[in-house]
Structure 1
Amino acid sequence: MTVKHLVLMYPLVIALVASRGIVKQKQMEQSNKYVGMWVTDDGYIRQELLPNGRYDEARGNRQSAYTGRYEITGDHIKYWDDTGFTADGDFKGNDTLYHGGYIFYREQQQK
């Protein structure tokens, strides 16, 4: 490959890198609308979706029972737990999450 070829390919490479960044940013914006605390109706399971793409789930008195990363595409969420297992779920509207056989509700902010 000649220098001329490299010079001609440079704008294409830059465009590809930039478009990938835009896609990632769009995914983060999409996931940001779901950031926050999600709880089961009985309050036993509390799952916090953090803005950095991590989650922290408490069960009963056990804080950080499960931790890992997550990605959201549309209204679908995928989890990769730090211990190695994976899971997924689906958001219905802005305030309900179906995950692992449970229904989670967005925790309402105290005013």
Structure 2
Amino acid sequence: MSNPILIIATAASLGAVAHIAKAEDTMPIQSSTQAQPQNHVYLGMWVTSDGHIRQELLPTGRYDEARGDRQNAYQGHYVVAGNHIDYWDDTGFTADGTFVDKDTLQHGGMIFYREKP
């Protein structure tokens, strides 16, 4: 007997995307359009040393990233597990990062620092 094939579709802001997987490979997934509330020590604004990229981790489970003069350049949701962060941009882009300590984030080949009030 052959393994059944499932088609899993998710909606993205740029259209629908389909993924084909074997039934035994599937796991429940969270919709990429719904952010879950977050409660962790890494909430707040994270900035590169030159100030060019600013990323705010909001308690709603959403993030908002500015690049240079371009406000809201990237927005989406994120999930923190331990010192690891996963990002899902509203356009479908995904990324991740690692909090090296409470004030340092390595993400996308860059280093971000917690903005001090």
- What do the CA deviations read for 1:10-57 (whole angstroms, capped 9, x no partner)? xxxxxxxxxxxxxxxxx933xx21000000000000000000000000
RMSD: 1.1
Do residues 107 (structure 1) and 76 (structure 2) align? no
Output the amino acid matched with 1:44: H
| Residues 48-67 of structure 1 mapped to structure 2, 5 A cutoff | 48-67=56-75
- How far apart are 1:87 and its partner, in Å? 0.1
Structure 2's unaligned 5+ residue stretches are 1-36
**Identity of counterpart residues, as a percentage?**
68
- How far apart are 1:68 and its partner, in Å? 0.1
CA distance in 1: counterparts of 2:38 and 2:69, whole angstroms: 31
Aligned to 1:82: 90
| Residues 28-67 of structure 1 mapped to structure 2, 5 A cutoff | 28-29=38-39, 32-67=40-75
CA distance in 2: counterparts of 1:28 and 1:82, whole angstroms: 18
Give 4+ residue runs of structure 1 displaced > 6 Å after superposition: none
Structure 1's unaligned 5+ residue stretches are 1-26
More strand by share: 2
Output the amino acid matched with 2:93: F
CA distance in 2: counterparts of 1:28 and 1:97, whole angstroms: 17
Output the amino acid matched with 2:103: D
